[in-house]
Structures are given as C-alpha cells and as structure tokens.
Amino acid sequence: MESARRKRAIDEARASNMRQGYVHDPILEAITDRFVRGDTTLDEMNDEIEEANRAQSQAAGR
C-alpha cells in the first residue's frame, strides 16, 4: 500500500532528524501528513517544506 510506504519513509526521516535535534513543528508535520495521505506528491511536499522554511526564516529575521 502506497500510504504505508510513505508513512514508513516519513517516520524514518523524522527519527533521523530527531537524533539531530529536530523539534516538533506542526506546520511541517501537517505537510508530511498530506503527503502520507496521498494528497500531495513528493515534489509538492518538498516545495511546501521549502516555502514553510523560507517563511519561518523571514519571520525570525534571518
């Protein structure tokens, strides 16, 4: 099942990121949840993550 494969990939990436100090971000979690459900493609998810990171950087004045 595609959603199970996507969830496993996201879970593995999240675990790796947490080992590197990732802090839960509800915006990024919502983006990845849409990908797992099949609402977005991998490219769309990556674009949304880049945009969210850009917006957060701008808000922080970086």
Q: What is the pLDDT of residues 20-46, one digit of tens each?
A: 998 888 999 999 999 999 999 999 999
Residue with more model confidence, 8 or 61: 8
pLDDT band at 60 (very low <50, low <70, confident <90, very high): confident
Against a cut of 0.85, is the pTM above it? no
DSSP state of 39: S
Task: Please report which helix (H) or strand (E) contains residue 17, including its range.
Answer: helix 2-19
Residue pLDDT, tens place only, 39-57: 999 999 999 999 999 998 8
Measure the CA–CA gap between 14 and 24, rounded to whole angstroms: 9
CA distances from 39 to 5, 16, 19, 61 (A): 14, 24, 28, 32
Residue 10 CA to residue 16 CA, distance in Å, equals 10
Residue 62: pLDDT over 90: no
- Kindly list the domain boundaries of the chain, sorted by start residue: 2-59
